[in-house]
């Protein structure tokens, strides 16, 4: 059995809100307080990967309301940034090495 965190009344296990006090449970059943279904999204991760700045902005904006979707955007942006830094280091290293061989 589940109990309301606000009024302490007993609730059904699948309750999304308390019928006694009206409290809406955050992320109950995968749905956020705003009513948007919160789930990880490959499309959002891909958007964050292709446009890292947009991914970071979406992460910050969506974090309170839809944390799983925000995490997808953040992971995509972070992956793009890490890969970009690795390629940058390789480019600098290869440029420095080519300078010494010619």
Helical pair 67-101 and 42-50, crossing angle rounded to 10 deg: 40
Please write the tens of the pLDDT for every residue from 48-66: 999 999 999 999 999 988 8
Integer-rounded Cα Rg, in Å, for the chain is: 22
Q: What is the pLDDT of residues 72-97, one digit of tens each?
A: 999 999 999 999 999 999 988 888 77
* Phi–psi pair at 61, nearest 5 degrees: -75, -40
Phi/psi for 87 (5° steps) reads -65, -35
Taking the CA atoms of residue 28, residue 31, residue 33 and residue 34 in that order, the dihedral angle to the nearest 10 degrees is -170
Residue 17 binned pLDDT confidence (cut-offs 50, 70, 90): confident
What is the domain partition of the chain in residue ranges?
1-30, 39-101
């Amino acid at each position: 059995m589940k109990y309301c965190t606000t009024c302490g009344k007993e609730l059904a296990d699948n309750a999304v809100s308390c019928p006694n006090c009206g409290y809406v449970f955050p992320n109950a059943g995968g749905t956020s307080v705003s009513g948007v279904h919160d789930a990880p999204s490959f499309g959002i991760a891909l958007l964050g990967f292709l446009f890292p700045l947009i991914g970071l902005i979406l992460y910050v904006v969506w974090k309170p309301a839809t944390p799983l979707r925000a995490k997808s955007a953040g992971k995509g942006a972070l992956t793009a940034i890490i890969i970009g830094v690795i390629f940058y280091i390789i480019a600098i290293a290869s440029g420095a090495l080519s300078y010494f061989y010619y």
